[in-house]
Amino acid sequence: MAGFALEGVKVLDLSRVLAGPWCTQILADFGADVLKIEAPGAGDDTRSWGPPYLTGPDDMPGEKGESGYYLSANRNKRSVAVNLADPRGADLIRRLAAEADIVVENFKLGGLKKYGLDYASLSAINPRLVYTSITGFGQTGPYADRAGYDFVAQAMGGLMSITGEKDGPPLKAGVAITDLSTGMYAATSTLMALRHAERTGEGQHVDVSLLDTQIAMLANQALTYLVGGYSPGRLGNAHPTVVPYRLFPTSDGEIVIAVGNNGQFRQLVAVLGAPEMADDPRYVGNGERVINRDTLEPTLDALTRTWDGTELTNALLAKGVPAGPVNSVGDILTDEFAEARGTVHHFDRGDGAKVPSVAYPGKLSATPATFRRMPPRVGEHSRSALAEWLHLSDTELDALAEAGVIADRADLLARTKQGEHA
């Protein structure tokens, strides 16, 4: 893996669902060796979060295939199925942690302590270990004992209060944006702690929570309260402090027009055939446009409504005014932009199934993200990864498998085939 930004970094991934796996997928995309530790059998909760499911000829009887949800956050990892409830399984994890640079976990507060896999226990074994805990509400504070999900954090963290139509109910975002943001903050924080550990040999505990992240992601809306002393509300697709900046009607649908400065506003009204509006005292600056949005926006609506959406978009773009269509998910994934930027990657699973993935968005010129491994099946690498990290012999691995401490997909496939031919 020469040339990878995280070449040689070993990550023990004890997380599941989205925030944790999103963090470790980022690390894996840049060359870290990520072992995804899963419970034998069902594995990560999201494996069953479908439909849709991706199926293939080598699915075992009773398997649904891999859910699209699971596939979105687990590429470039190896799956090791270990029974943590068995003391021998917990001991395997401790031995892996002794070899690891990073542990990422998202168990409920204290959930790993009973297995001897908490930060205090593992850092005693490996003082240079970066141990990242992702929870709903953090390791401290009044809500630390609560379980947390993205939806709850969006609600409690203020996001839903500013999302939706002005007179409508609060709405969550269309993706688990708090989970995803938490995963990104966790990856950034982990890498900063890793840099410190590489310089000093000192590991640390990284505490990242959904609610902390969601509050931070309020950004300018949080400062509206802290500076202005009032809580912002819902404005639908409008912007609280930039006007015009929302959806506008056309003869065949709606488009986005996003005017960020006075020059763009002047170009907008010129394209719409009303250049005099740029000199109207009510609209001459952004502050005036925000105050007078109730008269400005209906006037603009009436003008844009007479245009074909594509023609207006192109006319505005030609004059440097940001504008665009409201695409469906399918529209953007098949857009020429996605093709040119390599947005969608397909793995060939070997059984004829193509496994799609959405690429890491950052384009690094010297150490780019790479897509080496498709998201693994449960226990797909149990034997090979344990043999590599811990130098376990076939005899030792056989004994662990027979005792139910580990499960290996290859073993299960072999037993299935033996049953078919019995």
Q: Which residues touch 5 (CB under 8 Å, ≥6 apart)?
A: 30, 31, 364, 367
Torsion of Cα atoms, 207 then 14 then 27 then 382, to 10°? 170
Which of 281, 263, 264, 275 lies closest to 303 in space, CA to CA?
275
CA dist 82 and 91 (Å) reads 10
- Return the number of other C-beta atoms located less than 10 Å from residue 170's C-beta: 14
Whether 179 is a known active-site residue: answer yes
Set 179, 207, 212, 408: catalytic member? 179
| Residue found under tokens 């891999």 | 66
| Residue found under tokens 């695409």 | 327
CA dist 8 and 10 (Å) reads 6
Radius of gyration of the CA atoms of the chain, in A: 26
CA dist 105 and 13 (Å) reads 6
Which of 63, 195, 213, 245 lies closest to 138 in space, CA to CA?
213
Task: Just list the catalytic residues.
Answer: 179
